[in-house]
Structure 1
């Protein structure tokens, strides 16, 4: 189900709780909401739709990839960039890394570890920050 976008800085700044299999419906809601906002958005975190759980979805090429309880476990090659966010107005400067390795649970709650580079890595870092209550 397509959900409204949360713009409340107070709730967006609260670190999210770990997700459990009972939160599977949130994954579908995030995927639906990401698709509905695909013209202006390439990633979403659950707190952006008002659910304070560690769930993100990231558009990587033609695929929207859900990640549950994601953790960046390796990062390298920092750079400065400017990012926007569907929950915030305008763009803000931030530091990101060209290469990250992420551990997460997939949609079936199976453990995964995968390396990402460049723009995909940037999106993931932005959404993981949301899970940690960090806003750009």
Structure 2
């Protein structure tokens, strides 16, 4: 189900709680909401739809991927500056991002996964991981 975008900075500034297998329905709502905003959005975190769970969704080309309890296990030593916007917070801000990151997470079938993200996808994942930490971008 497509959910409204959360704009409450106090809510968005709180750290997410671990997701459980029962939270897969939240991940489905997150994917539906990202799909509905796909023309101007490439990633979302569950707190952006009012759920304080460690779940993110990203667009990889035409494919949408949800990750439950994503956690960075490795990251590139090299970083760069990027300018990012967010559906929940107006405007754009400069941030520092790693060239690549390796992330472990649970997929929609609750299987353990580990993937390396590079380029723009790595930037998207890092932005959404910041949301899970309550970091306002």
State the TM-score, normalizing by the size of structure 2. 0.97
Larger relative strand fraction: 1
SS in 2 for 1:14: coil
Q: Secondary structure at the match of 2:66?
A: strand
Deviations, residues 75-105 of structure 1 (Å, cap 9, x unaligned): 1120001100000101001000111000100
Aligned to 1:83: 84
Is 2:101 aligned against 1:110? no
Aligned to 1:97: 98
Superposition RMSD on alpha carbons, in Å?
Answer: 0.6
Q: Per-residue deviation at 1:61?
A: 1.1
For 2:10, the equivalent position in structure 1 comes to 10
Matches within 5 A, 1:1-136: 1-76=1-76, 77-136=78-137
Where does the alignment leave 5 or more consecutive residues of structure 1 unmatched?
none
CA distance in 2, matches of 1:60, 1:110: 20
Q: How many residue pairs get matched?
A: 136
Deviation at residue 109 of structure 1 after TM alignment: 1.0
